[in-house]
Structure formats: C-alpha cells, structure tokens
Amino acid sequence: MGFGDLKKQSSLGSLTAKLVKEVEKQSNTGGGSDERLWKPEMDKTGNGYAVIRFLPAPDGEDLPWVKLFSHAFQGPGGWYIENSLTTVGGKDPIGELNRELWNSGSDKDKETVRKQKRKLSFYANIYVVQDKSNPQNEGKVFLYKFGKKIFDKIMEAMQPEFEDETPINPFDFWQGANFKLKLKKVAGYWNYDSSEFDRVSPLLDDDDALEAIWKKEYSLTSFVADDQFKSYDELKKRLDYVLGTKKRQAPQEETEYDNYAATEQKKVSEEEVLKKLEDSYQASKTTEPSSSSDDDDDPMSYFAKLADS
C-alpha cells in the first residue's frame, strides 16, 4: 500500500472499521535498553505528561499495532520470563498448566495461576509531539510499549460509548488526534487513567513531511516473528526447571538472571535485584521482552508486585 492509498483510506474511514474488526477477532482468540523505544517519565512531583501521536501501520504491514503475550514470574528454580506461544495461536505449556490448576478448585492453585498469568503488551509506532522531560525526543519516531488501559482508550476513541461522540481512527495522519499522556502514581503504581485524546487534527499540514515520518517507522511484525518464541518443548523444559519439577540438564543452560539472583540477593535491596534481573534479561534479547502487567506499563512496578505476592 502506497502513501497515496493511506490518505485515500483516511478520507473514506475504511481503516477504522478494519481495525475494530481486527481487535474483535484478536479478543476472541484466545535492560539493555532499546533506543527505538520511548517511555514517559515522572517529574519530582510524581506526575508525568507528554503528547504523542499514534502512527499508521508501517509500509508493508497491515496493522498499526502488535500485541504480545508473555509470562514473568519466579519459582523455586529461578525466573520464568518468556514470550507466550498463545500470541501466535499456539499451545503454551504454562497456559496448559494454569488451566489445570484453575480447574482443580483449590484456592491455593488459583492464587498460583494469578501469579503465573499471561501479561498483555502492545507495541505501536509513535511521533513525539511534546516531551518536556526529554525535549530531544520531540519530532522523532519511536516504538511505544503500552498496556491494556491505554489500548482501551484507543478502542474507546474508535468505538465511542455514546451517540453524540464521533468515532476516530487515532492512527490516522489526517483524521486522527494527538494523545495527551497523563501519568501519576496511585497506590504506588503508575496510572494512566487521566490520559485522553485531543481534538481531531492533522499531525502536520505537509504531506511530504508526513510521508518522511511514515518511512521512519519500525517494523511491528518483528515482535511476533518466529525467532521471538521458543518451541513448546524448550518452554516446557524451562518451566519444569523453574517450578522445581525437574533437575537442570546441563550447566550451560543456567541463565544470567538465575545466577545473578543467587549471588546478589544478599548484597543489595530486593528492588535493586529485581531491576538488575530485568535489565540483565533484556540485554540478552534482540528486542525488549514484554514484562509489563495488563494494567501497568512500568516494569519495576510489575516486578515489585511479584515481590510483594
């Protein structure tokens, strides 16, 4: 699809319906830092504010976002931090185990399932309109990883609740809207409830400049490519070790975050350990692993929740 086709779809509004249909279909199916990724920051008052614009699908791709399921929890044998095969419609060993535990009827088993449940993350391309914490980011294209709360706001914009509200496609260059991201801490966790879309307006009035932005977008399908997932057998092997149901087969399988947790837990605070575990794991990946919870985009908040469980 060329850039001209993108603008034609904007005027017809056909892409909005297509996106809504795709969401419905997906819903029914069941740090080494990455410089491409943008993340909001809080100020000294404990609040954060930025203005971003969600961008259309990259050239050659159908959707302007991609969703990824993952698991991140600690067992007797260490951390299990893996992308879930359910992302691509496959069977996943932790999903099968959780189903069995839930159906046991035991309250203890259900609590275990809650700790081991899938975490849902989304990735999209964005254009940073305003970022006072990091003004050097303004006017640039980034990838943005976000959770279900922000995705729900996107869906609310495309499918408004009331008759007097006009649906919009937030990913559109011309008929979309800037997203005012308002971040605050509620009960110690990052909260995005006050975030909202601005009025409908073109991102820029220059189509040549918009096309240049479009060409700078990053691939989203790469997050769900085959090389981002281990095989069922590999995941099962790792899961068995983490849960303590099998002994480790070979020393070389020891992961960096297991070694670090064993040697450093006594030296630094629990929060520092969790942070370094996450950074260590992310550094071993070509793309950032998905470790945020359904309702929180802050990785440290998520790992803190695990520690408090």
DSSP for 218-282?
A: PPSGGGGSGGGS--HHHHHHHHHHHTTSS--S-GGG--HHHHHHHHHTTTS-HHHHHHHHHHHHH
pLDDT given at position 18: 65
Give the residues across from 47 on adjacent strands.
Answer: 184
Enter the pTM of the model.
0.72
In this structure, how many other beta carbons lie within 10 angstroms of the beta carbon of residue 240? Answer: 18
Name the band, by pLDDT with cuts 50, 70 and 90, for residue 45.
confident
Element (H, E) at 177: strand 177-186
**What is the residue range of 213's domain?**
1-309
**How far is the C-alpha of 244 from the C-alpha of 77, rounded, in Å?**
6
Average pLDDT over residues 31-36: 72
Percent of the chain with pLDDT over 90: 62
pLDDT given at position 173: 97
Percent of the chain with pLDDT over 70: 72
300-309: pLDDT as tens digits? 444 444 444 3
CATH of the domain at 26: 3.90.198.10
Give the chain's mean pLDDT: 81
Instruction: Look at 18 and 193; give whichever has higher pLDDT.
Output: 193
**How far is the C-alpha of 189 from the C-alpha of 70, rounded, in Å?**
20
Question: Which segment, 13-27, 163-177, 265-279, is predicted with the most confidence on average?
Answer: 163-177
pLDDT given at position 295: 45
**How far is the C-alpha of 244 from the C-alpha of 238, rounded, in Å?**
10
103-131: pLDDT as tens digits? 999 999 999 999 999 999 999 999 999 99
**How far is the C-alpha of 247 from the C-alpha of 240, rounded, in Å?**
8
pLDDT given at position 246: 63
In this structure, how many other beta carbons lie within 10 angstroms of the beta carbon of residue 24? Answer: 11
How many domains does the chain divide into? Answer: 1
Name the band, by pLDDT with cuts 50, 70 and 90, for residue 245.
confident
Inter-residue contact 273 to 264 (CB < 8 Å): yes
Name the band, by pLDDT with cuts 50, 70 and 90, for residue 34.
confident
pLDDT exceeds cutoff 80 at 148: yes
pLDDT exceeds cutoff 70 at 90: yes
**How far is the C-alpha of 80 from the C-alpha of 233, rounded, in Å?**
14
Inter-residue contact 176 to 168 (CB < 8 Å): yes
For the ranges 11-25, 116-130, 186-200, the lowest mean pLDDT is seen at 11-25
211-244: pLDDT as tens digits? 999 999 999 999 999 999 999 999 999 999 999 9
Name the band, by pLDDT with cuts 50, 70 and 90, for residue 261.
very low
pLDDT given at position 23: 59
Average pLDDT over residues 282-290: 42
pLDDT exceeds cutoff 90 at 73: yes
